[in-house]
Structure 1
Amino acid sequence: MPATDLVTAELTLTGRLTTASNATFLGSIGDAVVVYKPIAGESPLWDFPDGTLAHREVAAHLVSQALGWDVVPRTWLRDGPLGEGMVQLWQEQDPAQAAVDLVATDNVPETGWKQVLEGRDENGQMVTLIHEDSPALRRMAVFDIIVNNADRKGDHILAMTGGHRHGVDHGLTFHREHKLRTVLWGWVGEALTAEERDGIDRVSDGLQGGLGRQLADLLRAEELDSLAARCALLRSAGRFPAPSGGMPAVPWPLF
């Protein structure tokens, strides 16, 4: 379907995702299956301005495109049956894969995975939160740092056939204050790769041009300033940061 049709063709609702905290619907635009989150269905939050989550989801997609890593599926604003909202192309993940998992502590894989934290389950058994050690997931972790993602749960990572990883649910991003809460803490202190540094540079450069102009329609000026500052700080440090601040380092629930 041509790109213009995704914006102007009829959006038909086909179902609702009842586990989401905000009104979230499945729909179709022609042959394209989409997720639709109307602004009118956003729940008020104490720390984010009302009615801005859809705009932040679109902004996250624009930053993902600037990075060049296709972290966020195509996302845009348009009118729908319940008013203007965020629309995103549906991604069919591979049910045989999981990029993040909670396993018994004595069953943690020896290679290919990073350990994040340990705790006890409802039966008192020791469990460990782990995520895969892959370039695709590293890139998502860099993306989360840049956009200041306050809600990177395990289920917000879609494991795609072929090894690609998509991130979804980016309404809680771009806050001017430090809000990073994520399950992807496995690379703390590790040096950024050349590819990761180049991606950050593309965002920093883009903020001075077309990307900055696009984001100015979606975010506040102080949020754009904070985005630029996070890029500069991460590029200067050259390493994955450790958790900081008084807020929890991981979201709850984890999945």
Structure 2
Amino acid sequence: MAWFKKQKTTGSEVPPRSKGAEGMWLKCNHCREIVYRKEVDRNNKVCPKCDYHFPISVMERIALLVDLGTFKEWDAELEAKDPLNFHDTKSYRDRVKAQQEKTGRKDALMIGEGLVDGQPVVFCVFDFSFMGGSMGSVVGEKFCRAVDRALEKKRPVVLVTASGGARMQEGILSLMQMAKTSTAVAKLGESKLPFISILADPTFGGVTASIAMLGDVIIAEPKALIGFAGPRVIEQTIKQQLPDQFQRAEFLLEHGMIDMIVERKQLKETLGTLVAHF
């Protein structure tokens, strides 16, 4: 005779896992550890185990860098058209509309002016949540407008990138933004106005190949992935295994591709020092 009987349960009797409980934890993109969300939030969205800097929203970035209440956005109404009448699984127009509804923004770049430690600065900040921060015609146009106003007001420009690269739905028009934005940066150089580039995770593709790497000073956040093509594509092309931590900010600093790595909590202070120096 059995000492006990195991009760069989059907799938419907298993209590569902709480969505609230699932939302309490995050998986780090770098060390792959499970971390407590509130602890990450208290730490400026930085992993407490490996110091990986999680992506943050545009408004969180502005709050981090700009003096409270001083930021004024420019040209927020600009939005993408569909010059190629592009259609994959859905039309480009529908994709843009869906992203606008999700993010509350018209496109993937915010521009404006604000103060950093009391010093006037023009800001351009990529929004990765809008189609992966991809650079299309609107992003290129807004960046150039920001530069034009910086030239007019004699102010430095700070760019914060988080992007997957050029926007494929705009084809060659998207690729043209690489040359267009690079020309705008050249104008800043001719006018002796500083251009500071801050690379967040991830910064890839045509954005890396143009404006992101043209800064007079190039700063990266710790553990940020920065590159042009992805590691898998490179390995398949050159038929060799890539070095450990390839395309991480620390690797790029060691090989002279960037100037410094700055933790998020020290970023505003560093930026203020650079602006004052220039």
TM-score bracket, normalised by the shorter chain, equals under 0.3
What TM-score, normalized to structure 2? 0.26
Indicate the structure (1 or 2) with the bigger Cα radius of gyration: 2
Q: Which structure shows the higher helix fraction?
A: 2
- TM-score (structure 1 length as normaliser): 0.27
